[in-house]
Each structure stands twice: as structure tokens, then as C-alpha cells.
Amino acid sequence: MKVVSDIAQLQHHLASFDKEQIALVPTMGCLHEGHVSLIQKAKRLADIVVVSIYVNPLQFGANEDLDNYPKPLEQDLSVCEAEGVDFVFTPEQLYPESGIQVGLHVNDLSQTLCGVSRPHHFDGVVTVVNILFNIVRPHLAIFGEKDFQQLTIIQRMVSDLHMGIEVIGAETIRETDGLAKSSRNRYLNDDERTQAAEIYQSMLLMQNQAKQTSDMQQVIQAGETYLAQHGITTDYLSINDETTLQTLSVWDKQQPARIFIAAQIGKARLIDNMPLSSTNEEK
Ligand code: PAF
């Protein structure tokens, strides 16, 4: 495994592969089993796997956790080594010192869910992913379904901009009590950690409710009530179309739809999602 922080050096190494399929797994480090599953999927689908580790300042808001974002690089490198990653790309900076002048912008897909309380977040994400794609020139790239809005937006970026890269989603990896694995779970104390598992339970409850009604407001109300009983106030709890991410007030049971939740628990802002129909759970 080669650990490379220099862009030209990485490109020099990658230029020697002309027949091999290259997969990119973009990350911000602090790798956990969720990332491991992305890497394993990349290994199954491609010949060469590149993992990038870069905490992208452009996708953090002024009061978010950029300065405290965990950076356990040695641990991350051991994870990559154990998983047989070929290249770990660890750039110190991906933007010009004088600041970036030209970036990408997301329209309607970022005006909902996380985009409402994090107004520039997805512009920052697509800009950095575009830069990473331009540097690595992968055939395919893997992103977790836990960040479903991000996955949808990146798939749309690749299609709108004719980038010719296959963007593949990988299912959410959960703790035994259902809490989605996330780098931010480490901010939770023991009580908050127990409370956080209720997010998963609330989604199972809503899946069940959705079998009995097409009125999504009723389903959401059931979820909100359950979470409130467990002391959790949501930033949002919404049921949205999987492709357009538009909010659904009525669900016809055919249309692929998902439950989306964001909640602040202690210092951690947790997000999660699940298909509304349990038959197509976690594709
Ligand atoms: O999901 C993440 O870790 C980040 O948003 C990504 C895709 C690596 C871009 O910085």
C-alpha cells in the first residue's frame, strides 16, 4: 500500500494502470466499519482501490465541528492496509492558498433535508468530490447510503456533467442495536449512545405505520411522538422521494421513498435514513 499526499505523485502512480479498473473511496478519515464496507465493495468491483482522506473545510459551516473533526491517521492507515487498499491519498490541501474561485453549486436537491440547516454543505461536497474525481480519474466511486442525500447529489452531478464515472451506493452498516455507524458517534456519552439507537427504532415504527396508511403526515407524527418520548427532538424527520428528494405527503406504495432523520444528540448531529417499504430495505 502506498500513502501519497502529493497530487502529481499519485497521478504518476495511477498513470501506469491502463487496463485496470480504478475505484475511489472518498473519505474524511476516522474510518469505521461503514468505511470498511465501502472499501470491500470497491475491492470486489475494481482492480485498484484508492482511498482518499481529506477533511474538506468547504463543506463545514461556521459553527460546525471542522476544528475538532477527529484525525486518527495512523489508525486509518492500518485499516486501509488490513483491507488491501492500493493507494491512500492524503492531500494536505486541495484548494489554492489564495482560496478557491470556481466551485460547483447544487440546485433543488440541496434545498431539502440537510441542505436546509447546512446551506453551503453540498456545494462544498460536490466541489471536493469533483476535484478528487479529476485527480484520480476513477472508473467507479463508492459512497455510503447513510449519507443518502449526498449519494443522490453525487449521482446527479456525474450524470448532469457527463463525467463517465459509475457512482455506487453501499448499504448502511449498523451497530447491533441499529445505530448507524458514523465517525460522529464518538461524540456521544453512554446515555446519549443508548438514546441514539431510538432513531433506528423510530424508523422501523414508521415503516410499519406506512403499511397501514398512505398519509405521510400520520407516519411522521408517529415517528416524532416516539422520538419525543425518548427525549429526541429532530432537526428534520421527513419522507421523500428517493430520486428527486422532494417531500411526500401521500405515498402510493410504488414510488421508491425513504424516511430521513437528523437529530442533535449531545454534541453529535446524527443523520439516518431507511426505505419506507421494508421490502426494499437497505438496497
Ligand atoms: O462523506 C464524506 O465523508 C464526505 O462528504 C466526502 C464524500 C468524503 C467529501 O468530503
pLDDT tens digits, one per residue of 22-73? 999 999 999 999 999 999 999 999 999 999 999 999 999 998 989 999 999 9
35 noted as active-site residue: yes
Burial of 259: CB neighbours in 10 Å, binned 0-12, 13-18, 19+: buried
- Per-residue pLDDT, averaged over 187-199, amounts to 98
The three grid cell numbers given for residue 124, joined into one nine-digit string? 462544498
> What distance in Å separates the CA atoms of residue 261 and residue 234, rounded to the nearest whole number?
7
pLDDT, residue 224, reads 98
Domain-wise residue ranges, the chain = 2-170, 183-277
Q: Please tell me the predicted confidence (pLDDT) of residue 278.
A: 77
Kindly state the cell numbers that stand for 59. Answer: 463543506
* Secondary structure (3-state) at 151: helix
Give the residue, out of 132, 150, 153, with the most ligand 1 atoms within 8 A of its beta carbon, to mutate for a pocket test.
150
Q: Average pLDDT for residues 184-208, to the nearest whole number?
A: 97
Model pTM score: 0.96
Do 89 and 53 form a contact (C-beta atoms < 8 A)?
Answer: yes
Architecture of the domain spanning 183-277 = 2-Layer Sandwich (3.30)
- 2-170 CATH: 3.40.50.620
Residue type, 100: I
Instruction: State in Å: Cα 159 to ligand 1 middle.
Output: 19
Q: Which atom of ligand 1 is nearest to the CA of 56?
A: 10
In the chain, DSSP assigns E strands to 2-4, 22-27, 48-53, 87-89, 140-144, 166-170, 234-241, 257-265, 268-275
Whether the predicted pLDDT of 280 surpasses 90 = no
CA of 26 to the centre of ligand 1 (A): 6
Average pLDDT value over all residues in the chain: 96
CA angle 100/106/112 to nearest 5° reads 130
What pLDDT does 214 receive?
97
Q: How far apart are CA 115 and CA 127, in angstroms?
A: 15
Cell triple for residue 241?
422521494
Each residue's pLDDT tens digit, 108-158: 999 999 999 999 999 999 999 999 999 999 999 999 999 999 999 999 999
DSSP track, 62-106: TTSSTTT----HHHHHHHHHHTT-SEEE--S-SS-TT--S-----
> Strands 166-170 and 140-144: what pairing?
parallel
Q: What is the pLDDT of residue 283?
A: 43
Angle, vertex CA 256, rays to CA 155 and CA 283, nearest 5: 65
Q: Please, what sign has the CA dihedral across residues 28, 114, 230, 274?
A: negative
DSSP 179: P
Instruction: Using pLDDT thresholds of 50, 70 and 90, give the confidence band for residue 101.
Output: very high
The verdict on the CB of residue 135 being under 6 Å from ligand 1 is: no
- Any atom of ligand 1 within 6 Å of the Cβ of 182: no
Angle ∠(133,20,135) on CA atoms, nearest 5: 20
pLDDT, one tens digit per residue, over 2-24 is 999 999 999 999 999 999 999 99
Read off φ and ψ for residue 263, nearest 5 degrees.
-145, 145
Tell me the C-alpha distance between 283 and 92, whole Å: 35
Average pLDDT of 213-225? 98
Answer yes or no: is the C-beta of 180 below 6 A from any ligand 1 atom.
no
Distance CA(24)–CA(143), nearest Å, equals: 9
